[in-house]
């Protein structure tokens, strides 16, 4: 019996082997078939045209002999020996496609040359198939092919054509679809195609055939034509990231077979048509970042197959409950954030058993969290920030049942309620992010949080919490971001915070799901406003500022080597600054201002090479300010109101010799009397001067400049300035008083703040004539600020260039100086690259290159053409502003210093911004044009990589952008530095060319750097 069983097993194995052999025989026969001589010649010519090196040499080495049917990537028909398939994707092939006179592969059915670096017109690639009678699929995506779209009339059997991610140009031909009646899939995304879509209706054969159409990431514009909705067989339609506008009409209902619809990042407006009852097969509906308005269509309730709904960043209004989600069992993700939706949360969402992500932030929602939401067992991310929800206890009790919840953002809700301490709240075992910021919640830091062992981010800022910081917070081993700022906490900082494991040793990769969603709102201290951020943008931080904490700074804080931000400002902390803080090697921000600290500033803090913000202002510190490292970059305001501090040891010694405190007091008293007498005399003189000036004005009727040469103090100063005219450079006919200007900013309302520059904020102003302007308000009466104002006014009044932010006018109001600039509609380059969630996606390579070219021209004008020449000294992405056409304008000359045409440097006491500072500035306080070139090189790297100059979230070896790029370049890994959102074979040559220019700019030797004029020439030749 055993023998029989063994024989049976052997027989079964033989049958399986024989069946497999029979199945493989046709392939063996095809490989062994003789190669048709015409095809052999065509393939050899194709290989011969490939550029030497890389994939081309490999193909030529593999394609030897005459049995081409066995060659790599080649398949043949066994009976005829004709080549039927040529599949060489991702082989590193480069070079032109053979010319049209070449012998074609007449029987070719399947052509795949995707993800290579082939050049030339795309029509030449299709000529490989000759008459194209047999060609069924052609994948030429991700190459460097150019020119207009080919004529598909010679390809009657073509079913799938993918030419995405190339450099195709021109418009879509009206007969494109008619020429290929069998076409099922057409992918032309990520090219340079432009114009409006054809308005002529497609032939019936085409309308019945085309199933997938991808036109995203081009430059199409205009309204969607009715002809588009005649393509009744469409199942997938992507029009994302173009310039389409107008309304989406109810003709959308004609596309009854749609499963995928992407209209995102366009300029569509009006109502989203209520036609989804006829589109019940849709699984993915994305229309974010448009101008849609009105109510949510009720017919969305009919989308029983829906998996993703993203209508974020529009102007939809009304209640979400208009949509019944009960019939959407497969729904995984909903994003309706940043709209004008109101009302309560719909209970029907509780029926979406597979829902993982729900973002409803930045709306006007009210009411309580429905109890039925406890049934959302798959929910991982919930963001309700910036709404008006109430009953925080009820919300926590409901959500504690959601066992898979990892991210909970409830910022700016539940205003004034009591935060439950430990009222039976359990669950939250998997919680990684919890944000209750800016809720004005009362109570203590809740005890139930100690059970959230996976917590990485905890934000309880801007509340009314009392008591002490509990010791158990130090037991949260994964905690990397703690914000308890702006509360009423007291007592000593618990020593356990210095033992947080994730801040002592390198943190693991975050497990936070959906951590790129723009769902986290925080106070922006620099603007007194609020801003949205991605969770992934938050560095390891401890914010304990603006409380009533006392005690001393633990020396053990030095153990937190992974900490990037430590803010202890505005407390009552005393004692000295521990020397051990110098061991916090990743520290970027250290703010100890407004405390009761004494002693000296440890000189070892100069070893903190990443430190970009430092303040010990308003303490009782003494001794010299450390000299070296990043301390060269810190303004005097970082050290103010510490009477015992001095800039050097020698000046400290000078202040201490030969004088007692009493003697000093007497001397100061005498000086004060003299100063008062001198002040009275000056005031009398100034009054006489003002009276004389008024008389002269009345006589000559000439305009008087608002800029006074002297400081004028007195009770009438503000009111005197209030009615003075604003001086405009380019429009002498414009009449505007200081009063008008202040009203145009709504009396400098924080809602109008659009930026923060050196020494002041920038406000959006709506001028009486209907135009917009940007008003930079320089506040204070210190001499350094006054010099900045004078330098900026004098420089910008003469610096006029299309790539500079033009200074339109200026005036003075009390101790404030107001500079009026042209308003830039599209914010800064920094905003698009690093702050806006979809900014990098929307900023295509063509736009980035144009920004690089424009800003280089602006800088070249400052260096050579402007008289006198100007060194900018703070070139960075946040100082490159973009107008409505995304044209670059170099901004913020607040740090500029004028130099004469033949001077080569200028001395100063403040140098640039961390990450952009040339290495030679650490050895000297001399700024040169080559320093600007270095900073501009860093900006080029930002454009190429999409990364910040100093990325605190990266591993130590790749945190500094310049060092990382140079390291990758030395390892021949340049291709890996490029932003994946812009990388393509289409742009490869341009990307490498700009990278080479950037690397020349960031040379450590200033003498080896090019002039900015050379940089302009190189960029213009790309």
CA distance 808 to 820: 5
CA distance 776 to 764: 9
Element (H, E) at 246: strand 243-246
Measure CA 427 to chain center.
Answer: 35
Do 621 and 643 touch, CB atoms closer than 8 A?
A: no
Rounded to 10°, the helix 55-62/37-49 angle is 150
**Could you write out the DSSP letters of every residue in 335-380?**
E--SSEEEEPPPGGGGG-TT--EEE--SSEEEE---GGGGG-TT--
CB atoms within 10 A of CB 802: 13
Among 447, 530, 453, 450, residue whose Cα is nearest residue 486: 530
CA distance 278 to 256: 6
Structure tokens at 731: 């429009």
**Cis peptide bond N-terminal to 614, omega within 30:** no
The one catalytic residue among 112, 262, 838, 874: 874
**β-bridge partners, 549:** 491
Element (H, E) at 259: none
CA distance 831 to 877: 8
884 CB-near residues (< 8 Å, 6+ apart) = 825, 826
Backbone angles phi, psi at 770, to 5 degrees: 95, -10
Q: Is 319 left (phi over 0), alpha (psi -120 to 50) or beta?
A: beta
Structure tokens at 425: 């709240």
776 is in an annotated binding site: yes
Do 1017 and 931 touch, CB atoms closer than 8 A?
A: no
How many helices (DSSP H) and strands (DSSP E) are in the chain?
19, 57
CA distance 562 to 584: 7
18 CB-near residues (< 8 Å, 6+ apart) = none
Among 309, 264, 273, 318, residue whose Cα is nearest residue 291: 264
Q: Is 874 a catalytic residue?
A: yes
**Could you write out the DSSP letters of every residue in 301-315?**
GG-TT--EEE--SSE
546 burial type by CB count under 10 A (0-12 exposed, 13-18 middle, 19+ buried)? buried
Do 723 and 737 touch, CB atoms closer than 8 A?
A: yes
Do 830 and 877 touch, CB atoms closer than 8 A?
A: yes
Binding site for ATP, by residue number, is 776
- For the annotated catalytic residues, the residue numbers are 874
Binding site, by residue number, is 776
């Amino acid at each position: 019996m055993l023998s029989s069983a063994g024989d049976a097993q052997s027989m079964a194995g033989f049958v399986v082997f024989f069946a497999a052999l029979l199945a493989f025989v046709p392939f063996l026969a095809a490989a062994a078939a003789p190669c048709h001589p015409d095809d052999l010649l065509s393939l050899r010519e194709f290989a011969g045209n490939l550029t030497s090196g890389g994939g081309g040499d490999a193909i030529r080495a593999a394609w030897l002999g005459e049995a081409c049917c066995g060659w790599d990537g080649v398949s043949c028909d066994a009976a005829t020996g004709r080549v039927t398939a040529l599949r060489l994707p991702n082989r590193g092939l480069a070079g032109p496609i053979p010319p049209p006179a070449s012998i074609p592969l007449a029987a070719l059915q399947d052509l795949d040359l995707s993800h290579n670096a082939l050049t030339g017109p795309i029509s030449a690639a299709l000529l490989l198939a000759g008459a194209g009678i047999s060609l069924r699929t052609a994948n030429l995506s991700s190459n460097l092919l150019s020119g207009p779209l080919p004529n598909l009339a010679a390809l009657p059997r073509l079913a799938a054509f993918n030419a995405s991610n190339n450099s195709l140009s021109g418009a879509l031909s009206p007969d494109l679809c008619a020429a290929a009646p069998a076409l099922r899939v057409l992918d032309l995304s990520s090219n340079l195609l432009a114009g409006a879509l054809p308005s002529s209706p497609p032939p019936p054969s085409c309308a019945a055939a085309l199933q997938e159409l991808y036109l995203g990431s081009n430059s199409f514009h205009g309204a969607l034509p009715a002809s588009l909705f005649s393509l009744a067989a469409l199942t997938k339609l992507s029009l994302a990231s173009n310039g389409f506008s107008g309304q989406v009409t109810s003709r959308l209902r004609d596309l009854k077979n749609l499963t995928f619809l992407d209209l995102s990042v366009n300029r569509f407006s009006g109502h989203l048509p209520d036609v989804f009852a006829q589109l019940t097969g849709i699984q993915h509906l994305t229309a974010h970042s448009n101008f849609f308005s009105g109510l949510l269509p009720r017919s969305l309730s009919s989308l029983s197959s829906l998996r993703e709904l993203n209508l974020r960043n529009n102007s939809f209004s009304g209640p979400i409950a208009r949509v019944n989600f009960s019939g959407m069992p497969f729904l995984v993700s909903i994003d309706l954030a940043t709209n004008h939706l109101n009302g309560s949360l719909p209970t029907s969402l509780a029926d979406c058993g597979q829902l993982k992500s729900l973002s409803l932030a930045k709306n006007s929602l009210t009411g309580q969290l429905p109890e039925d939401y406890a049934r959302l067992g798959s929910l991982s991310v919930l963001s309700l920030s910036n709404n008006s929800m109430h009953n925080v206890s009820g919300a926590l009790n409901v959500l504690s049942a959601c066992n898979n919840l990892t991210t909970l953002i409830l910022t700016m809700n539940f205003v004034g309620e009591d935060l439950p301490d430990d009222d039976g709240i359990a669950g939250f075992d998997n919680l990684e992010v919890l944000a209750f910021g800016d809720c004005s919640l009362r109570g203590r830091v809740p005890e139930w949080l100690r059970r959230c062992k996976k917590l990485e981010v905890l934000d309880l800022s801007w509340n009314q919490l009392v008591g002490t910081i509990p010791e158990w917070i130090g037991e949260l081993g994964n905690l990397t971001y703690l914000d308890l700022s702006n509360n009423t906490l007291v007592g000593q900082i618990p020593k356990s915070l210095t033992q947080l494991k994730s801040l002592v040793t390198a943190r693991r990769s975050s497990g936070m799901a959906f951590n790129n969603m723009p769902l986290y709102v925080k106070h922006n201290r620099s603007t007194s406003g609020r801003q949205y951020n991605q969770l992934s943008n938050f560095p390891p931080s401890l914010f304990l500022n603006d409380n009533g904490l006392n005690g001393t700074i633990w020396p053990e804080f030095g153990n937190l080597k992974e900490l990037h931000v430590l803010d202890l400002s505005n407390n009552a902390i005393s004692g000295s600054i521990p020397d051990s803080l110098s061991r916090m090697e990743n520290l970027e921000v250290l703010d100890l201002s407004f405390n009761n600290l004494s002693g000296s500033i440890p000189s070892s803090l100069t070893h903190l090479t990443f430190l970009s913000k430092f303040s010990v202002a308003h303490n009782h510190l003494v001794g010299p300010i450390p000299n070296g490292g990043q301390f060269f970059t810190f303004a005097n305001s970082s050290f103010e109101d510490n009477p015992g501090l001095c800039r050097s040891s020698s000046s400290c010694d000078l202040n201490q010799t030969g004088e007692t405190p009493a003697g000093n007091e007497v001397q100061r008293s005498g000086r004060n009397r003299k100063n008062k007498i001198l002040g009275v005399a000056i005031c009398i003189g100034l009054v006489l001067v003002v009276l004389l000036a008024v008389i002269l004005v009345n006589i000559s009727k000439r305009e008087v400049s608002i800029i006074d040469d002297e400081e004028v103090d007195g009770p009438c100063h503000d009111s005197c300035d209030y009615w003075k005219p604003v001086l405009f450079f380019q429009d002498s006919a414009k009449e505007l008083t200081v009063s008008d200007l202040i009203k145009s900013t709504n009396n400098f309302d924080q809602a109008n703040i659009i930026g923060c520059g050196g020494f002041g904020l920038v406000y959006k102003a709506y001028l009486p004539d209907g135009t917009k302007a940007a008003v930079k308000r320089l506040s204070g009466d210190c001499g350094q600020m006054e010099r900045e104002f004078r330098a900026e006014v004098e420089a910008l009044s003469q610096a006029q260039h299309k790539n500079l932010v033009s200074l339109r006018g200026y005036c003075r109001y009390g101790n404030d100086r107001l500079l009026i600039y042209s308003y830039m509609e599209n914010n800064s380059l920094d905003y698009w690259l690093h702050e806006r969630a979809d900014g990098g996606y929307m900023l295509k390579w063509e736009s980035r290159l144009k920004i690089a070219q424009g800003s280089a021209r602006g800088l070249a004008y400052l260096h050579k053409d402007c008289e006198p020449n100007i060194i900018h000294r703070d070139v960075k992405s946040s100082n490159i502003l973009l107008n409505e056409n995304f044209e670059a304008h170099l901004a913020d000359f607040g740090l500029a210093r004028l130099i004469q045409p033949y001077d080569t440097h200028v001395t100063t006491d403040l140098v640039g911004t961390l990450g952009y500072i040339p290495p030679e500035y650490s050895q000297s306080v001399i700024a040169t044009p080559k320093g600007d070139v270095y900073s501009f090189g860093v900006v080029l790297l930002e454009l190429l990589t999409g990364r910040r100059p100093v990325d605190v979230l990266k591993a130590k070896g790749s945190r500094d952008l310049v060092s990382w790029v140079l390291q990758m370049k030395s390892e021949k890994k340049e291709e890996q530095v490029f932003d994946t959102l812009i990388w393509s074979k289409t742009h490869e040559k341009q990307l490498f060319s700009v990278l080479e220019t950037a690397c020349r700019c960031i040379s450590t030797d200033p003498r080896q750097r090019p002039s900015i004029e050379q940089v302009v020439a190189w960029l213009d030749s790309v």
